[in-house]
Structure 1
Amino acid sequence: MRLLLAGALILAFTGAAFAEPDQPIERMATDKAQNFELGSIDWQDEALLPKGAKSALLIGDPSKPGVFMAYLKFPPNYEIPAHTHPFTEVVTVLKGTVWNGHGEKLDRDKGDELDVGASFTLPAEHPHYLWNEDETVVLLTATGPWNIKYTNPDDDPRKDK
């Protein structure tokens, strides 16, 4: 819990100087008190990630400076190729198991297995990748403007748009 709180505080004071709005994470109403249950989330396709990822914004606006939180859902046998982000992220596993790896290329022999309740931090501009075997849901806490830069530009799902 201390790690998550520390990460959130770091994110809250991070300045925003990088902006490439690409219509990330579908926005939910955040101007009122709300409860969120995984079983009743209105998931949207996530255009910044490879096909199959879904997202739901809980609070904040990833296209603007400031902290935001979003659920991300990945189908079974899903991979996010090596990439970086402009600011630090904190990821918490809510359902399933993910493997978090570090480096310029996805390597399933070099990741850390993380189960429900586990969190990890990713420094700004740190190349990393993720994969799973079964459906997975994570909570992403990050600073906007959020973006993703794939190590290999051919991995970017936006290249075809």
Structure 2
Amino acid sequence: MRIYLIALIIASFANSVLAQDKIDRMRAETMESFTPDTVKWADEPILPNGAQSVVLVGDPNKTGVFIAWLKFPPNYPIPAHTHPFTEVITVLRGKLGNGMGESLDTKKGKMFKVGSSFVLPANHAHYVWTTDEETIVELIATGPWGITYTNPADDPRRQK
């Protein structure tokens, strides 16, 4: 039993070291700062027309953690969808509604204000929407990131 406990402690320490190595590899070579007014926003093709994004750290197309900002116009809905990995969302500007389920229903969701965060589990259908103001959120997730719309007809990549 004692050998098993020692092996478990060593394995836990090794996992901690490996996790730290992944974080170290994400480090920038120089200090950088970001503001919504100075980053270069780009149209986000995997979301309905009007959304913009900027990747701050990492690469959503590769394995590993990344941080991105998403900007949504007023009265903007994103239909029900899932993601392959857990996401952490923090509202930086405006308000963002979030609901769980396979169809968008703003009466069943919750509205998050600036400074609020929420976690979305992997492969759980959810939807988001904005109110009457522009909204910016920070997304922290693991790549390769993707989105699968509950209703394939809602996928903007199929509408082009």
- Are residue 51 (structure 1) and residue 49 (structure 2) matched? yes
TM-score by length of 1: 0.80
Q: Which amino acid in the other structure matches residue 148 of structure 1?
A: I
In structure 2, how many angstroms separate the alpha carbons of the residues matched to 1:151 and 1:102?
Answer: 12
Computed over aligned residues only, the root mean square deviation of the Cα atoms, in angstroms, reads 1.6
- Are residue 160 (structure 1) and residue 159 (structure 2) matched? yes
- Are residue 98 (structure 1) and residue 96 (structure 2) matched? yes
Bigger radius of gyration, 1 or 2?
2
> What is the aligned partner in structure 2 of residue 135 from structure 1?
134
In structure 2, how many angstroms separate the alpha carbons of the residues matched to 1:130 and 1:160?
Answer: 20
C-alpha deviations, 1:41-90, integer Å up to 9, x for none? 21100011000000000000000000000000000000000000000000
After TM superposition, what 4+ stretches of structure 1 lie above 4 angstroms from structure 2? none
> What is the aligned partner in structure 1 of residue 82 from structure 2?
84
Q: 1:110 to 1:60 in 2, by over 3 A?
A: same
In structure 2, how many angstroms separate the alpha carbons of the residues matched to 1:56 and 1:97?
Answer: 19
Within a 5 Å distance, the mapping from 1:23-38 to structure 2 comes to: 32-38=30-36
Q: Which amino acid in the other structure matches residue 80 of structure 2?
A: A
Aligned residues: 135
In structure 1, how many angstroms separate the alpha carbons of the residues matched to 2:67 and 2:95?
Answer: 20
3-state DSSP of counterpart to 1:39: coil
More helix per residue: 1 or 2? 2
Percent pairwise identity: 59
In structure 2, how many angstroms separate the alpha carbons of the residues matched to 1:42 and 1:69?
Answer: 15
TM-score by length of 2: 0.81
Q: Which amino acid in the other structure matches residue 88 of structure 1?
A: T
